[in-house]
Amino acid sequence: MKLAVHAPGRLVVRTTPVADPGDLLSRLPHPTALAWVRHGDGLVGWGETARLELPGGHDRFAAADAWLREMFDPAEVDDPLRLPGTGPVAFGSFGFDPKSADSVLIVPRYVLGRRDGRAWVTTIGDPAEDGPFPPLAGLPPVAAAPAAPGRLTWSDGARSAPSWEQAVATATSRIRSGHLGKVVLARDLIAHAARPIDARALLERLAGRYPTCYTFAVAGLVGATPELLIRRSGDRVDSLVLAGTTARGTAPADDDARARTLFRSGKDREEHSYAVDMVRDALAPLCTDLDVPDEPELLRLPNVTHLASPVHGRLAAHRTVLDVLAALHPTPAVAGTPTDRALELIRELEGMDRGRYAGPVGWVDARGDGEWGIALRCAELDGTRARLFAGCGIVADSDPAAELAEAQNKFRAMQYALEG
Ligand SMILES: C=C(O[C@H]1C=CC=C(C(=O)O)[C@@H]1O)C(=O)O
């Protein structure tokens, strides 16, 4: 089922410790950036040693895992650090819908990483194809500042605001009639820029304003997501389940009042509990210990406050991060409950293909460690065009106008990144 656009022979991989690089993103030499950064730590990559584009299907995670193992298992690896993210890695971004053909994995030629005070560069190549392959001798230089996209004009995506509100109203009536419990409906918005959009300019702005989020770029999908779908480090797994949202207040007292209202809101707690229950049910069979909080906490971001449940577990047997995310995706934070009915309603009501928005995005290494978020607060870049996405969980009591306002607030992360 797989279509390998470019797969090399035997890889030679060298990881070398380096001095603290400072801002990882500033060292990306081209606009075709790969990135996964939070609080300054993470991985950035450039160049392309191998690429896999996958058609749709529920088995796309297993196919990706098998392809990586075929390539990474026989690799000649020199990795004195042996940390999550050292040695060979792939960045990836999967289509949201199992019917979508948009999933992509990229093994970069160069990776620069930092984790807990240690930094490294990794060179990944195929000497048979590339000739003698020079590893990076040290830190790559700081690149010239990327150009901003310039003047922007905006247009609706698949649905205008009133048409999307109508879709939300239809969803609430289906939910009230007992057809399903929750569905997440999204809309898209198009930005047209004066100049080709350089992902690096957006990444810098997002990482500066949203340091607690995971700022990412994979094959033109760029964003800063607050939602960690799964992190695997050895037998430990962590997830941060988000669902339930309010706008930030204009002053501290107003902000606190909004946060309290969110915390007590039956509608938002219902939205949240669908997501937490599903993550618990998906992880429980895979874990010996699983810690799921009884009550959510509040996660405050510059544009919105979310209900958040941090989940931690220990894997019972060897599973790669891709095995675990296959069990989790799509959660009710982005699809709904029950999943199949929610997916059908999304296809019927959104009037668009989500592509990789709301799909898993992140990285995986040869040991099966990795970090994957849900691709939210993001845009798909194509030359001078950016397609932004935002979605909202809909339950029986959802109000279309309030959901539209919530989607506008979620768009603000990428609007800020583009507009500065
Ligand atoms: C679907 C999105 O957000 C999800 C994550 C957090 C809160 C959500 C909500 O309150 O609706 C959504 O479930 C999005 O940002 O596009």
Q: Whose CA is nearest to atom 8 of ligand 1?
A: 243
Both tokens of 347, joined, read 């296809």
Its pTM stands at 0.96
Q: Whose CA is nearest to atom 13 of ligand 1?
A: 333
Domain residue extents for the chain: 3-129+151-419
Task: Tell how far the Cα of 243 is from the centroid of ligand 1, in angstroms.
Answer: 6
Query: What is the rounded distance in angstroms from the CA atom of residue 336 to the CA atom of residue 395?
Result: 9
- With b meaning 16 or more CB within 10 Å and e meaning fewer, what string describes 338-359? eeebbbebbeebbebbbbbbbb
| ipTM of the complex as predicted | 0.99
Q: Is 245 in the pocket of ligand 1 (CB under 6 A)?
A: yes
Q: What is the pLDDT of residue 6?
A: 64
**Is the separation of the CB atoms in 304 and 410 below 8 Å?**
yes
Q: What is the pLDDT of residue 138?
A: 80
Q: Is 227 in the pocket of ligand 1 (CB under 6 A)?
A: yes
**Active-site residue numbers?**
182, 227
**Per-10-residue mean pLDDT, the chain, length 420:** 61 94 96 96 96 91 95 95 98 95 94 97 84 71 91 97 98 97 98 97 98 98 98 98 97 96 97 98 98 98 97 97 97 98 98 97 98 98 98 97 98 95
Give the count of alpha carbons within 13 A of 389, CB side only. 28
Q: Is 392 in the pocket of ligand 1 (CB under 6 A)?
A: yes
Q: Which of 298, 350, 376 to mutate to test the pocket of ligand 1 (most atoms within 8 A of CB)?
A: 376
Q: Is 243 in the pocket of ligand 1 (CB under 6 A)?
A: yes
For 380, which DSSP code? E
Radius of gyration of the chain (CA): 21
Q: Is 376 in the pocket of ligand 1 (CB under 6 A)?
A: yes
Task: Tell how far the Cα of 271 is from the centroid of ligand 1, in angstroms.
Answer: 10
Q: Which of 96, 184, 241, 298 to mutate to test the pocket of ligand 1 (most atoms within 8 A of CB)?
A: 184
Domain 3-129+151-419 architecture? 4-Layer Sandwich (3.60)
